[in-house]
Structure 1
Amino acid sequence: MAPHPLFPNLEASVLVDNRPVDELYDHEDANLQTKIVYIESEAGEQFGVRYYIPGYLFEHYSIKAIVSIDGVDMRKFIFEKRNYDYYGVSRHIYASSAKAGRNFMGQRFRFASLDTHDERSAIEHELQEQLAHTGTISIAFHKVTNVRMAAAWKDVPSMYQYDKVPEKALKGSSVSHKTTLDPPERIAPVKFMEADYVDGEGRPFAVIEFRYRSAAALKSLAILPRSSSPAPVKDVVSEEEVKKIYLKQEEAETRKRNRADDDGDDGDVEMVNKRPAKRRCFPTSNDEVIELD
């Protein structure tokens, strides 16, 4: 699980198939209130979020935890100080929640590819707002007081639905996936509570944020190591060629040793008769000279 740097044991994780995904830490300032963690995502995977709030954080106040996905608040939990100040509390969230008539309904979370098109169409403001937060899963922790039953049911969480987005809308962004919601299904009954913020609604005391990206996007950010290039075909040597190279090297070494033995021989020296060079002869007075026309 990803621990928060300022609050020991305050931690969270993203789960796929009920197992935490590998967490890839970016080089962020450890003194920031927001802990940022990168994770690898694959289109089609269902996922959930789990977090743990240690007991010592309930010493003075109750705590409200808000799970947001792609900028949309999906689940909000209020934990009263008197119930959790000793052991703390853990929660696993795998779907949104809302009340439809007399039933409680939820929609599971799923990663999906973020496809683009190159048309020069205008970008709707609502889409632009959501794209600014797409690719993030955050858990914000607030100090609250005056916990009470909610006066009204909350609205059903909704996400802007789109198939493709203009390529220019993602210019300079590493976002590769988005989150979609599965069809509604019944969930266990939920008690809706409300409370007053101690430090203000937009001022959590801690945030753990996961940025989910494809493997290719993580490599482009140098968070995952790039794959080494395969060796060119011409550089691949077969076993038979290796044997030939080895034999040639052995023969060369043998010839070198033989030459060294000949040069350093201290035994008898055998003189080799040389063939005398031919001498040029000139006519004498006793020779008959014949001139040819």
Structure 2
Amino acid sequence: MAVLDSYPGLEVEILVNGTPLQEYVDPDEEAVPDRVLKYIEATSNATFEIRCRFTSAFVWKHDLSLDVYTDGRFACGRIVYKLRNPSDYTTTFTGVRERNRGKCYVRPFFFSQLNIGESDAGMANHDLQNAIKCIGAIGISATWVKVKGRRRNGSAKTSAALLGTVSEKALKGRAVSHQTGLLERKPTASYKTRSTKAIGKEFATFNFRCRSKEALKALHIIPRSPSPILLELRDTDTLTFEEARELLRRQRDRERTVRAVKEEGNRKVKRERPDGSEDLVGGDQGDEVLFVSAKRRRTHAVISNDDQIDVIDLT
């Protein structure tokens, strides 16, 4: 859960199927006293909730307003009234509430995978560039307020649609993978709203960035999967039956390759033919050329025998 040292007792977390998602921190992110940043792993099409809890350690000064932002847009808000000697109070945001023809509905939050393409369309669109900066972000801010006005029925909410295909170039190298969206409306209990006046700026902000596991690895938020150890380097006693068979197959393939290389090399050694030309014959010299014999040069010598007859040796 995300907490702030400056305001202990206020806890915020993101839940999927009622279970809080594991949170990760960016070690290179600079710490700010009144805000906290966490990374969470987003699963495509999974619905999520935002749970805020106030424990007895929280110091109440006034009533407060909790405001929820998804992908940089205001989604919903709620007034939490000052409590006397609070022990444990929890409020949960499941989606955006709407009223239509006198009936109340809620549109649940969910993670939607971002479609990334190669087209350059929309790169110059200013609104798109601003939206890209906030893709996959969930923000919850707390502000002291003074509640005024009567309670009245909630009004309808108009939420922005999901982004379509986004150019990879428009992302400018950002490791983003998901955006937040709203599912179809479901009936919910009636609710009331009241106007408020802020007392100063927000005193606490909780930010969550939703990324796939691959994106979290690319950002070095979570460690990359270690490279598997080669079978050849493993202790043979730790190999499974299938791994041992694979290792044996590799060894046989290497042996066949070595034999083929040697046989090819043997055919490339040079030897002289009887007619004086050179040929490729057997040997173990690989690609080197071995001259087994050199071509002899004919000589002419004059030899005198005992009969004083000159004999010419043509050998």
**Greater relative CO (CA pairs within 8 A, separation 6+):** 1
Q: 2:208 is matched with which residue? A: 210
Q: 1:41 is matched with which residue? A: 42
Q: 1:127 is matched with which residue? A: 128
Q: 2:169 is matched with which residue? A: 168
Instruction: State the one-letter code of the partner of 1:44.
Output: N
Structure 2 contact 9–56 (Cα < 8 Å) conserved: no
Instruction: Trace 1:147-166 onto structure 2 (pairs within 5 A).
Output: 147-149=148-150, 153-166=154-167
Q: 2:186 is matched with which residue? A: 185
Structure 2 contact 15–49 (Cα < 8 Å) conserved: yes
Cα displacement (A) at 1:153: 4.1
Instruction: State the one-letter code of the partner of 1:183.
Output: E
Instruction: State the one-letter code of the partner of 2:209.
Output: R
Aligned length: 238
User: Mind listing any 5+ residue stretches in structure 2 that lack a counterpart?
Assistant: 238-243, 248-315
Q: 2:142 is matched with which residue? A: 141
Q: 1:11 is matched with which residue? A: 11
Q: 1:288 is matched with which residue? A: none
Structure 2 contact 175–215 (Cα < 8 Å) conserved: yes
More moved, 213-222 vs 29-38: 29-38
Instruction: State the one-letter code of the partner of 2:126.
Output: H
Specify which structure has the higher proportion of strand: 2
More moved, 111-120 vs 157-166: 157-166
Structure 1 contact 54–89 (Cα < 8 Å) conserved: yes
Instruction: State the one-letter code of the partner of 1:206.
Output: A
Instruction: State the one-letter code of the partner of 2:202.
Output: P
TM-score normalised by structure 1 residue count: 0.73
TM-score normalised by structure 2 residue count: 0.69
Cα displacement (A) at 1:6: 1.3
> What's the CA shift string for 1:238-257, capped at 9, x where partnerless?
55899xxxxxxxxxxxxxxx
Structure 2 contact 114–179 (Cα < 8 Å) conserved: yes
Report the Cα distance in structure 1 between the residues aligned to 2:52 and 2:195, rounded to whole angstroms. Answer: 20
Cα displacement (A) at 1:188: 1.2
More moved, 229-238 vs 58-67: 229-238
Instruction: State the one-letter code of the partner of 1:116.
Output: I
Instruction: State the one-letter code of the partner of 1:99.
Output: R
Q: 1:77 is matched with which residue? A: 78
Q: 1:257 is matched with which residue? A: none
Structure 2 contact 153–191 (Cα < 8 Å) conserved: no
Residue identity over aligned pairs, in percent, reads 26
- The 1:170/1:209 distance shift into structure 2, 3 A limit, reads same
Instruction: State the one-letter code of the partner of 2:109.
Output: F
Alpha-carbon RMSD across the aligned residues, in angstroms, is 2.5
Q: 1:68 is matched with which residue? A: 69
Structure 1 contact 74–157 (Cα < 8 Å) conserved: no
Report the Cα distance in structure 1 between the residues aligned to 2:102 and 2:186, rounded to whole angstroms. Answer: 13
Structure 2 contact 4–33 (Cα < 8 Å) conserved: no
- The 1:146/1:55 distance shift into structure 2, 3 A limit, reads farther
Q: 1:95 is matched with which residue? A: 95
Q: 1:260 is matched with which residue? A: none
Report the Cα distance in structure 1 between the residues aligned to 2:74 and 2:225, rounded to whole angstroms. Answer: 37
Report the Cα distance in structure 2 between the residues aligned to 1:109 and 1:59, rounded to whole angstroms. Answer: 29
Cα displacement (A) at 1:172: 2.5
More moved, 5-14 vs 160-169: 160-169
Report the Cα distance in structure 2 between the residues aligned to 1:208 and 1:160, rounded to whole angstroms. Answer: 24
Cα displacement (A) at 1:96: 0.8
Cα displacement (A) at 1:89: 3.0
Report the Cα distance in structure 2 between the residues aligned to 1:182 and 1:29, rounded to whole angstroms. Answer: 35
Instruction: State the one-letter code of the partner of 1:108.
Output: P
Structure 2 contact 111–181 (Cα < 8 Å) conserved: yes
